[in-house]
């Protein structure tokens, strides 16, 4: 009984991650795409929650504590992905551990990534549209909308070098959260190991490509479709946010995606493959 309650040992987690990667590659396109839409929606819900909590919190708490609160509630997204079951691109880059062990072909791995990334975009952007149409951003006298616009503006103005490394650091933490959840034996365990890494990356301002699909879509929707009464009440105008364009979305997120790949695929998955699964002197790794 005790053995079944104990968390998996690190080497066993590496083998589980390897087997999980192989299993993902065996899924048909429709299943992958459907689960990816769910993951995009789940991350978007975490981003929505985080945006809401950010409104006015800086007036109540010191900067660090305010960022901690914002990051902690964002963890809702990854909790839903892991516990409810969904395919998230930033977690699926861990498939490189199976690729490194030659259990997975490059084409099969890239196929999964492409389908999942597209599904994540549909889920996150679609959720942004639903949230906008619900009127939620105009809660708090439009404070939520202003917070969302500020988040989108900051992300759109990042330089490529900063965006790349912020993306890499983000996905080190995201993939460590997913990795740790593989060791867990219960839903409670999974939640407890997911929250701290996710809170850390959000608090630090690192860049998560799928979350950005929500944030930037919401920013674009607010810029183009917010009622005149919102702009007048805030003394602002849409042309004060010229950076919120589809072109900026594509160029900026391409860099963040590459950073997410480096952080998760190389700095987590391949490092653990080297530590536990690489062939050693004539015997299996």
Question: Where in the chain are the domains?
Answer: 2-277
Q: What is the mean pLDDT of residues 239-267?
A: 95
Tokens found for residue 242: 């010229």
pLDDT exceeds cutoff 60 at 158? yes
Q: In the prediction, which pLDDT does 280 show?
A: 81
Q: Which DSSP symbol is given to 150?
A: H
Band of residue 7 on the pLDDT scale cut at 50, 70, 90: confident
Q: What tens digit of pLDDT does each residue of 99-137 get?
A: 999 999 999 999 999 999 999 999 999 999 999 999 999
Helix axes 160-183, 246-261, angle to 10 degrees: 50
β-sheet bridge partners, residue 283:
280
Closest CA to 201 of 189, 209, 192, 190: 209
Q: Using an 8 Å Cβ cutoff, are 127 and 40 in contact?
A: yes
Tokens of 232: 């007048």
- For 280, the 3-state DSSP assignment is strand
- Report the alpha-carbon angle 68-72-78, nearest 5: 140
Average the pLDDT over 142-160 and give the result. Answer: 96
**pLDDT confidence of residue 2:** 44
pLDDT of 4: 60
| pLDDT tens sequence across 58-109 | 899 999 999 999 999 999 999 999 999 999 999 999 999 999 999 999 999 9
Contact 224, 132 (CB under 8 A): no
- Of 94, 219, 213, whose CA–CA distance to 149 is shortest? 219
pLDDT category of residue 6 using cuts at 50, 70 and 90: confident
Return the SS3 of 193.
helix
Query: For 175-186, b where at least 16 C-beta lie within 10 A, e where not — what string?
Result: bbbbbbbbbbee
Calculate the average pLDDT of the chain. 95
**What are the residues whose beta carbons fall under 8 Å from the beta carbon of 132, sequence distance 6 or more?**
218, 221, 222, 225
CATH class of 2-277: mainly alpha
pLDDT value for 5? 67
Confidence at residue 243, expressed as pLDDT on a 0 to 100 scale: 92
Cα 125 to Cα 16, 102, 211, distances in angstroms: 32, 35, 10
């Amino acid at each position: 009984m005790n053995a079944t309650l104990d968390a998996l040992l690190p080497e066993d987690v590496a083998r589980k991650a390897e087997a999980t990667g192989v299993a993902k590659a065996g899924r048909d396109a429709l299943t992958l795409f459907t689960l990816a839409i769910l993951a995009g929606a789940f991350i978007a819900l975490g981003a929505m929650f985080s945006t809401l909590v950010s409104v006015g919190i800086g007036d109540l708490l010191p900067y660090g504590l305010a960022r901690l609160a914002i990051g902690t509630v964002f963890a809702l997204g990854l909790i839903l992905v892991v516990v409810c079951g969904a395919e998230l691109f930033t977690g699926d880059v861990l498939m490189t551990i199976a690729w490194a062990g030659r259990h997975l072909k490059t084409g099969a791995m890239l196929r999964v990534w492409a389908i999942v990334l597209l599904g994540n975009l549909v889920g996150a952007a679609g959720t942004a549209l639903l949230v906008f149409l619900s009127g939620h951003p105009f809660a708090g006298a439009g404070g939520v909308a202003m917070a969302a616009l500020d988040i989108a503006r900051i992300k759109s103005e990042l330089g490529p070098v900063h965006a790349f490394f912020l993306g890499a650091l983000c996905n080190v933490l995201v993939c460590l959260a997913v990795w740790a959840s593989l060791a867990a034996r219960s839903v409670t365990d999974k939640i407890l190991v997911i929250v701290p890494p996710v809170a850390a990356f959000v608090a630090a301002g690192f860049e998560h490509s799928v979350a950005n699909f929500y944030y930037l879509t919401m920013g674009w929707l607010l810029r183009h479709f917010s009622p005149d009464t919102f702009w007048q009440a805030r003394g602002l105008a849409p042309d004060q946010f010229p950076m919120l364009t589809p072109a900026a979305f594509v160029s900026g997120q391409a860099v963040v995606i590459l950073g997410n790949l480096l952080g998760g695929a190389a700095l987590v998955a391949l490092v653990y493959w080297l530590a536990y699964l690489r062939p050693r002197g004539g015997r299996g790794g």
